[in-house]
Chain A
Amino acid sequence: MGNGVTAHQATSGCGADVTTAKDPFGQFAVTVGVVDARAVLAVRGEVDRVNAPELGAMLDAVIERHRSVVLDLAELDFMNGWGLGVIAARASRLKRSGGTLTIRSPSAMVLRLLDITGVAEVVLLEHPDPRRGHLGAEQSSAIADALLGTEPYHLPPHVGKITAIPADTDVVDGALRLVVALARATVGAADGVSVSLRRHGHLATVAASDQTISDMDASQYATGEGPCVDASVKGRWFHAESLDTETRWPTFTLRAQALGINAGLSSPLLAEDRPVGALNIYSRTAMAFAPKDQELASVFAVETSLILTSAGVDVTDEQLSRRRSETLWARRVLAQAEGVIMERESVETDDAYRMLCDYSRRSNQPFRECAQDVVASTQRPQFDPEPGPKHSHNG
């Protein structure tokens, strides 16, 4: 998109908009004015890879004359990492020179980007609308206090839950309910179907064709005895052909027969080859599951396992939490490293990223370690962008 935007210098004035830049498609526009001795850039439309440099040029022009700069994002429709990189670089520069960059009226998405990348630490946040009408409910309640005033903003830890989750639990549960419905409809002898899954360290029924089946699963979890528990724990098939002759699970057998169940087939569900649950199919008829039914159950179990593997359900809450923190921290360091390189080498975000990539490849060092090196080098005289083979990662 050629937007024809040019950077304009803002002139001093009070309360008057003095400069406007916009693209011919009306998707991106910046209005610059000076209010109460602060330069205010009001951004409208979308900031992406194409027009982020224009925003950067306008910020540069304003920063030359003003140490207190406000970026008003109330009319911003969209901004991606390109825009954020431009803002990050200018915010760091202003901060080093004793100035401040204030982000006014950021959307929930922009707030999230600011926090993930660590930019929130170098800007002030200002939200003049006490109703915070355009924030989603979860963000609105979680960060309400932090948004008042212009204090540096730190995202409350629990808001981090909305980021870096491999797959949404609701989506996984929806897929599992579909599996249950399909198995119930296609396995001829099935009178009831359920999926058991280990969550928060305990087995639970996350999808069931009816309440009776769900109750029967629950009694197995409570006693620790039954085909669905064994399949979930041992990662093997368990087939109770006829409960009349079943001896492996006496408590389960009595309970199931009382509910009219006479056969059961539990297939293990695996995520990354580890047992995480079971697909359970029950029938009122003894000896109900023919080889074809068993084969179908196996197909459903394998496909369900693929869903669970992709969703990362084998990751425990603790592991997920730790990994999420590490990921956010690494991204923060990356943003800082990019900022350092952009400043030192006078390059834009993409070029800074590419230099980091090259550094990582030449030194055979993981990217995150390279970013840490760059950030740490701000404490030392110089970061060497042309490393020798001295950091061999593979030994």
Chain B
Amino acid sequence: MAETSATGASADVLDQYRRAARLSHGDLWLRYFELGGMSNALELEAILYGALRPSAHEREVIAQALNERFVELGGNHPVPYSESDADRLRDKNSQT
């Protein structure tokens, strides 16, 4: 489901989102699992820190779990659902 990755930039951002969402790793894993995630808690943590690269589907599930939390906190859907969305967001931010 996930492969090893040497780059952790976007994954590190994922863990920043987790912290901003005020979720422990355990809480996020339960939410992610509920939404159909197939990685175990340790693998999810590795993905968040950039040690594993998620498949597109896994990435979407993680984003969905985080975004639902942000909606609960009164926010919108700040977490990009795919790597390409994240790249577009980075480009847009760097231009502004």
Contacts and interface: CB of A to CB of B under 8 A. Distances in A.
B36 A334 contact: yes
Interface string A270-304: 00100000000000000000000000000000000
29 contacts: A49-B55, A49-B57, A164-B33, A166-B24, A166-B25, A166-B41, A167-B41, A312-B26, A323-B30, A327-B30, A327-B33, A330-B34, A330-B35, A331-B34, A331-B36, A334-B34, A334-B36, A335-B36, A350-B57, A353-B36, A353-B61, A357-B60, A361-B77, A366-B68, A366-B71, A367-B35, A367-B64, A367-B68, A368-B34
Given A353-B60, A368-B34, A394-B71, 13 more contacts: A80-B1, A166-B29, A166-B30, A166-B41, A309-B24, A323-B30, A326-B34, A334-B35, A357-B81, A360-B64, A361-B67, A367-B68, A393-B71
A164 B30 contact: yes
Residue with the highest number of chain A CB atoms closer than 10 Å, among B1, B26, B74: B26
Q: Is the interface of A mostly helix, strand, loop or mixed?
A: helix
B33 A331 contact: yes
B23 to A, nearest CB: 10
Interface residues of B, number: 24
Contact of A167 (B26, B60, B67): B26
A81 interface: yes
A164 B74 CA distance: 27
Interface of B: 1, 24-27, 29-30, 33-36, 38, 41, 55, 57, 60-61, 64, 67-68, 71, 74, 77, 81
A13 to B, nearest CB: 37
A310 B26 contact: yes
A272 B30 CA distance: 16
A310 B33 contact: no
A81 B35 CA distance: 12
A364 interface: yes
A364 B71 contact: yes
Given A327-B34, A334-B35, A353-B60, A312 B24 contact: yes
A216 interface: no
B41 to A, nearest CB: 7
